[in-house]
């Protein structure tokens, strides 16, 4: 089976959040199952212009001009997975992945960039530079591809995976005219325009894809409701099915026994070595050096989705609890300001690093005892899985993929042999506070149970093995039903 992944991100070449991790790792797991999964990606400014070899040339209409694009072929590091880079300077090559650090859709010209990408992908398929059996599109950036493939009368079916329903790419007709003119003639686009004067790219994807999936079983159900449906619940309900397949993590990249970014390698039986990482990071960032003080880590895009506004109402309680916290992230200014303020007030307890830093991210996973993800909604979430692998117990709001991947320690502790972290249900600051207090107390008062949870978390299966199999089954079903 030949599967072409079209996406805006692919780790390690272009990563802003979990989308990059997934696109950079799922194809590797599929290849192990005998599925030839390849990736197509714009060559952004941050990617070496001479990477790989030229395997084709295409041209695409954009803003009334014909734009030539060179297709280069390389592979993902340490793997045989093929990556096609679309090399073009004016639209792709002068900018990073996204305009906004929180990854939300930016200006019209950014949307045009991704529409241009969609056209390039459809043209790549039409010219058979590589013959895919199925196209796997990811998120709004690639959601127009199913419609473009129909316009091209392509027989290739498309699976659209929603990694984050909150980002939809809503544009006006001028943007479509510039970057994907032919789409304006289509009934579904005309219908969108007549109703709202805008075109919702993700909605177009839902209408025209052969099948739709999302990244956890719980989120697949949640998005059918008004609370999580982001206005698209009615469109989603009309589909025969929205599959929910939980993401995995690349266990060669996220491996605490060989991670080149961390000082001390360890496993679940060498907790003292994990503690060395904690001490080193405390020293490096200027926190009080203390093995006994629980260290809470955050590595996250700083957006409303991630739930950090739950911290403000409990600020006075947080200030008197004895723990340290390291926050690594960029995003909305008001969240950045909140964390900067905490650091200013308590520099020996709260450290805020406002940047994207892969190395520091690995160090925080390795050094922290607790990993905080109080998300308002979370399609899957990878931070909690990485944290588990590194023996940092996730404290999460039980929603979406967080609910599917973290086993909450029950109040009576009766599931200590299987629990992997702490969870709360309602989007409520007091519930977060309660769980934090519980976690801190357990850390201090019951090291044996803590170690048991760390062991459970580190042994949890967060690999791609099961999920890659589910994707391969889904591809097969789509191919059978479209034959």
Q: Residues interacting with ligand ADP, by CB under 6 A?
A: 17-19, 21, 299-301, 328-330, 356-358, 361, 380-383
Nearest 5°: phi and psi at 418? -125, -15
Residue number, 278 or 306, with CB nearest to ligand ADP: 306
Residue number, 361 or 462, with CB nearest to ligand ADP: 361
Gap between the terminal Cα atoms of the chain: 14
Residue number, 157 or 381, with CB nearest to ligand ADP: 381
Residue number, 67 or 395, with CB nearest to ligand ADP: 395
**Comparing C-alpha atoms, which of 389, 385, 369 is closest to residue 258?**
389
Length of the chain as a residue count = 483
Cβ 384 to ligand ADP, closest distance in Å?
Answer: 7
**Ramachandran region of residue 400, left (φ > 0), alpha (ψ -120 to 50) or beta?**
left
Pair 28, 76: CB distance under 8 Å: yes
How far apart (Å, rounded) are the C-alpha atoms in residues 228 and 224? 7
Question: Which three-class secondary structure state does DSSP give residue 361?
Answer: helix
Helices (H) and strands (E) in the chain, counts: 17, 17
Nearest 5°: phi and psi at 16? -120, -35
Residue number, 144 or 330, with CB nearest to ligand ADP: 330
Residue number, 72 or 301, with CB nearest to ligand ADP: 301
Cβ 390 to ligand ADP, closest distance in Å?
Answer: 11
How far apart (Å, rounded) are the C-alpha atoms in residues 212 and 3? 15
Cβ 435 to ligand ADP, closest distance in Å?
Answer: 19
Residue number, 208 or 306, with CB nearest to ligand ADP: 306
**Comparing C-alpha atoms, which of 410, 357, 414, 406 is closest to residue 384?**
406
How far apart (Å, rounded) are the C-alpha atoms in residues 266 and 391? 10
Pair 471, 26: CB distance under 8 Å: yes
Cβ 88 to ligand ADP, closest distance in Å?
Answer: 26
Q: Which residue is nearest to ligand ADP (CB)?
A: 18
How far apart (Å, rounded) are the C-alpha atoms in residues 277 and 326? 13
Residue 191: DSSP 8-state = H
Pair 169, 137: CB distance under 8 Å: no
82-87 vs 134-138, strand pairing mode = unpaired
Pair 318, 339: CB distance under 8 Å: no
Cβ 329 to ligand ADP, closest distance in Å?
Answer: 5
Cβ 366 to ligand ADP, closest distance in Å?
Answer: 12
Residue number, 133 or 404, with CB nearest to ligand ADP: 404
Residue number, 208 or 389, with CB nearest to ligand ADP: 389
Pair 420, 460: CB distance under 8 Å: yes
Strand-pairing partners, residue 170, are 200
**Comparing C-alpha atoms, which of 311, 314, 317, 330 is closest to residue 373?**
311
Cβ 20 to ligand ADP, closest distance in Å?
Answer: 7
Pair 161, 27: CB distance under 8 Å: no
Residue 388: DSSP 8-state = H
Residue number, 101 or 178, with CB nearest to ligand ADP: 101
422-424 vs 393-397, strand pairing mode = parallel
Residue number, 171 or 380, with CB nearest to ligand ADP: 380
Cβ 477 to ligand ADP, closest distance in Å?
Answer: 26
Distances (CA, A) of 364 to 36, 251, 271, 378, 406: 35, 17, 15, 21, 19
How far apart (Å, rounded) are the C-alpha atoms in residues 215 and 197? 31
Nearest 5°: phi and psi at 356? -100, 120
Residue number, 186 or 399, with CB nearest to ligand ADP: 399
């Amino acid at each position: 089976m030949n599967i072409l992944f079209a996406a805006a991100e692919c780790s390690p070449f272009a990563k802003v959040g979990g989308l990059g991790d997934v696109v950079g790792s799922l194809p590797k797991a599929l290849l192990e199952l005998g599925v030839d999964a390849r990736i197509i990606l714009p060559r952004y400014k941050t990617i070496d212009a001479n990477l790989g070899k030229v395997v084709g040339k295409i041209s695409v209409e954009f803003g009334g001009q014909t734009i030539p694009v060179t297709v280069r072929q390389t592979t993902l590091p340490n793997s045989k997975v093929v990556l096609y880079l679309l090399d073009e300077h004016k639209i792709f090559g002068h900018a990073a992945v996204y305009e906004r650090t929180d990854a939300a859709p930016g200006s019209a010209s950014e949307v045009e960039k991704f529409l241009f990408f969609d056209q390039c992908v459809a043209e790549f398929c039409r010219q058979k530079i590589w013959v895919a059996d199925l196209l796997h599109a990811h998120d709004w950036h690639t959601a127009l591809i199913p419609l473009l493939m129909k316009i091209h009368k392509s027989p290739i079916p498309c699976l659209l995976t929603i990694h984050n329903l909150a980002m939809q790419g809503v544009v006006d007709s001028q943007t479509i005219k510039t970057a994907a003119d032919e789409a304006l003639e289509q009934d579904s686009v005309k219908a969108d325009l007549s109703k709202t004067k805008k075109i919702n790219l993700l909605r177009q994807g839902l209408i025209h894809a052969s099948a739709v999936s999302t990244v956890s079983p719980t989120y697949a159900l949640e998005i059918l409701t008004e609370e999580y449906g982001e206005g698209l619940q009615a469109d989603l309900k009309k589909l025969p099915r929205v599959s929910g397949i939980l993401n995995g993590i690349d266990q060669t990249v996220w491996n605490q026994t060989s991670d080149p970014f961390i000082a001390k390698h360890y496993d679940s039986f060498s907790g003292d070595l994990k503690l060395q990482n904690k001490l080193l990071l405390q020293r490096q960032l200027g926190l009080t050096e203390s093995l006994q003080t629980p260290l809470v880590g955050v590595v996250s895009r700083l957006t409303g989705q991630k739930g950090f506004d739950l911290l403000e109402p409990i600020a006075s309680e947080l200030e008197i609890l004895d723990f340290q916290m390291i926050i690594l992230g960029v995003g909305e200014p008001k969240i950045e300001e909140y964390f900067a303020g905490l650091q200013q007030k308590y520099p020996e307890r709260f450290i805020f690093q406002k940047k994207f830093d892969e190395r520091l991210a690995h160090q925080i996973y390795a050094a922290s005892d607790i990993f905080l993800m109080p998300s308002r909604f979370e399609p899957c979430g990878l931070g909690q899985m990485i944290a588990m692998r590194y023996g940092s117990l996730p404290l999460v709001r039980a929603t979406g993929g967080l609910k599917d991947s973290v086993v909450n320690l029950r109040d009576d502790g009766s599931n200590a042999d299987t629990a992997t972290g702490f969870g709360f249900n309602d989007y409520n600051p007091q519930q977060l506070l309660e769980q934090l207090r519980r976690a801190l107390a357990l850390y201090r008062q019951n090291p044996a149970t803590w170690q048991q949870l760390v062991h459970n978390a580190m042994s949890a299966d967060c690999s791609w093995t099961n999920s890659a199999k589910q994707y391969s089954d889904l591809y097969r079903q789509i191919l059978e039903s479209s034959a």
